[in-house]
Amino acid sequence: MEITEYIIKKINDPTGIIAGERYEYRLYINLDEEDELYSEGGTGLRVIFAIDEDEGRIASYHFFERSSEKVLDFELEDDEKETVLAYCRAHRE
């Protein structure tokens, strides 16, 4: 899994209920054609990244088809989670 581009957007909480900051990442990934997540239109990963007391964590995520926004029912493997977490930490606003 190679992250080729990303979009980041800060999520505002007008109610003040959520502690810390939240960011939505849309990571676009390059996969081998043999990978079960491969899609001709491209594959993406939507990540909600939470920062509480300067510690970042993945609050939620899901894969999607880039061309249709259809959600794909797959989970990240542990090493992929670490890669995504490090990427989000390195690419904060």
The string of pLDDT tens digits covering residues 56-87 is 999 999 999 999 999 999 999 999 999 999 99
- For 25-50, b where at least 16 C-beta lie within 10 A, e where not — what string? bebebeeeeeeeeebeeebbbbbbbb
The pLDDT value given to residue 37? 84
Longest dimension (CA), the chain: 45
The domain tally of the chain equals 1
Cα angle 76, 82, 88 (rounded to 5 degrees) comes to 100
Q: At residue 44, does pLDDT exceed 70?
A: yes
Give the model's pLDDT for residue 93.
64
User: Which of these, 58, 88, 89, lies nearest to 76 by C-alpha position?
Assistant: 58
Please give the Cα distance from 50 to 85 (Å, whole number).
Answer: 10
Q: Which domain holds residue 52?
A: 2-90
